[in-house]
Amino acid sequence: MSFPHMMRRRWPALVAAGLTLSGAVACAGGAGSSAGERKGSLACRDGRILVGIAKADSGFASFFDVAGKRGLQVAIEEINAQGGIKGCPIKTITGDTKSDPAVAAQVARSLIGKGAQILVVADDFDTGVAAARIGQRQGVLTLSLAASSTVFGKAVGDRFFNGGITTTELGLAQARYALDRKWRSTFQVLDPGLAYFTEQDTAYRKLYEPGGGKVTGVDRVDSLAGQSDFSSTISKIKAAKPDVVQALAVFPAVGTFVKQLRAAGVNTPVLGNITLQTRELPKLVGANRSNAISFAAQVAFDGAGVDPAIAAFTAKYEKMFGHFPEQANAPGAYQTFMAVNQALQRKDVTDAASAANAIRAQRGLKVPGGTLAYWQDGYAVWSTTVVGVQKGKFKVVADYDPTVLRNGAS
């Protein structure tokens, strides 16, 4: 999972950091470039194409970045087993950004200096933007494989792409599912501290209210600070008697809320997003009480209805790292890089500029577990899956075309 604007208040400082550090980098290729080689070259160099990974192995963002990095590593292993990129294997070099945007910029600069031809940055706008600007300035194809932000690309440039499902698709899919289930009244439990949630709220209302639904109540919570008592919120839900409770908060607080809601005897359906997409949810809530829960996601990777290709991915992940994928950034990053790989395999793709053109041209692209509908302003627009939870078990219950969802909200 990624949180666009996780550190929203630090944005001016981060922009300054990105501009200052990127301005210090020469526009020529990295130290690994050979004389006369085109800027941003994706040529097979020293028997490999080198991918630099500037992500957090420590700090608050590491939970998301490590899963995303591992998902990328599974993708690379598969691509190399099939011959690499046009016969050239992919190799990686990494650097720990320590969840610090300024450190991330320095790491990106170092990786490019060591010859990285593709740069992969953090799965979040705020923690990744300074590093991404280094890649853009150097003319390197730069990716944030699971970031959800719709402004990331505009803030970086034409050789950058972020591949996570957007807050627009998540919010619209929740609204469509609620209307399809004839849930006409919604009570929102909303953490306003993240644009990740407030943007979903905006998208939800844009489709839900014209469709005949009404948000009858909102209670703001502070899941980021680890709120653990939701008794006041639950009392308001009991009084409101909504058809559905929309839970827009981070895990584990969102799981604690559902646990307390069910313990209070409230069996109203709960609707949310990928903060609920973890095996830890039934463990926290209790399998017998993990009922009537559903969430919108980029890809289903656990339970009934999972694409066999994603089931194969999770098996490879477990074999490589010793456990099931921690959370959704793992399969999300895997999907995005498999999509990018299809562009890189084209004969006319020789450098970052031609790769960017090929990526932007992708339409209706089938990848394991989903469909990438198209790219817009540097971000991916994905088909959306809704997963239901009943007796602690996950099951795919709906799939939505993003074009249909967006047209319905226009």
* pLDDT at residue number 393: 97
Q: Which residues pair with 111 in a beta bridge?
A: none
Tokens 């399809």 belong to: 180
- In this predicted structure, what is the pLDDT of residue 19? 35
The reported pLDDT for the residue numbered 186 is 98
Cα separation of 184 and 40, whole Å?
52
Strand order in the sheet with 370-376: 90-96, 49-55, 118-121, 141-144, 160-162, 379-382, 370-376, 363-367
The per-residue pLDDT for 13 is: 32
**Per-residue pLDDT tens digits for 122-137:** 999 989 999 999 999 9
Per-residue pLDDT at 172 exceeds 70: yes
**Assigned superfamily of 167-297+384-408:** Response regulator (3.40.50.2300)
In angstroms, the Cα distances linking 126 to 4, 12, 60, 101 are 7, 10, 13, 7
- The model's pLDDT over 72-89, given as tens digits with 9 standing for 90+, comes to 999 999 999 999 999 999
What would the two tokens of residue 290 be?
């993990």
- Given a cut of 60, whether residue 20 has pLDDT beyond it is no
Count Cβ atoms within 10 A of the Cβ of residue 15 and give its class: 0-12 exposed, 13-18 middle, 19 or more buried: middle
> What is the CATH topology of the domain spanning 8-165+310-377?
Rossmann fold (3.40.50)
- pLDDT tens track for 49-72: 999 999 999 998 998 899 999 999
Is residue 341's pLDDT more than 70? yes
- With bands split at pLDDT 50, 70 and 90, how would you rate the model's confidence at 29? very low
pLDDT at residue 224, as a whole number: 86
Give percent of the chain with pLDDT exceeding 70. Answer: 91
Range(s) for CATH 3.40.50.2300 in the chain?
8-165+310-377, 167-297+384-408
Structure tokens given for 262: 């069910």
pLDDT of residue 307: 97
Q: What is the pLDDT at residue 195?
A: 83
Give the torsion through C-alpha atoms of 171, 367, 387, 282, to 10 deg.
-110
Give me the pLDDT at residue 2, please: 55
Q: How far apart are CA 160 and CA 376, in angstroms?
A: 12
Residues 6+ apart with CB under 8 A from 234: 260, 261, 264, 266
pTM: 0.87
Percent of the chain whose pLDDT exceeds 90: 86
